[in-house]
Amino acid sequence: MKEFILYVVYYDFFYYFMHRLLHSRYFYPIHKIHHKQLQPQYYDFYNIHILELPISNVGLFFAIYLHRLYMYQFLCAVIFINIRGIMEHDMRFAFLVGNHHLLHHKYFSCNYGGYWLDYIFGTLRTDKINDKLE
């Protein structure tokens, strides 16, 4: 269980910084594919440029590099990260995971990663959201 949590925390930490980098003027042309939908749906979690895939997963591989690979915990972490990402991109799941990432798709310059990371680094925005992101 410890390794599962470790993999997720490493992923979240590195994803936060990679996501902020993807919003820079140099890399946003790659990332803008993901932001085509202001009101994302579950499948938009996977709507990314091919170059984004290795960039967004650096944290997982960094965790494996620094710690031993436990295949079962690693696979559970990958499944968890994917299910969480799918749910964060769909208003129908906001009651479970909140609207944190949906607000990112509305405003672009906030909520780059997990709630706790945005709080720590001063990029947290917490608005109430209605059924539509208008």
All structural domains of the chain with their residue ranges: 2-121
Could you tell me which of 126, 91, 98, 97 has the C-alpha nearest to residue 111? 126
Query: Which tens digit of pLDDT belongs to each residue from 105-120?
Result: 889 899 999 999 999 9
Both tokens assigned to 62 = 């960094």
The angle formed by the CA atoms of residues 39, 42 and 47, to the nearest 5 degrees, is 85
CA–CA dist 36, 44 (Å, integer):
9
Q: What is the pTM of this model?
A: 0.87
Query: Which tens digit of pLDDT belongs to each residue from 73-114?
Result: 999 999 999 999 999 999 999 999 989 989 998 898 999 999
Alpha helices by DSSP H, listed for the chain, are 2-22, 28-31, 52-56, 58-66, 71-88, 94-97, 100-107, 115-121
| Mean of pLDDT over the chain | 89
pLDDT on residue 132: 53
Q: Residue 2: pLDDT above 70?
A: yes
pLDDT on residue 112: 94
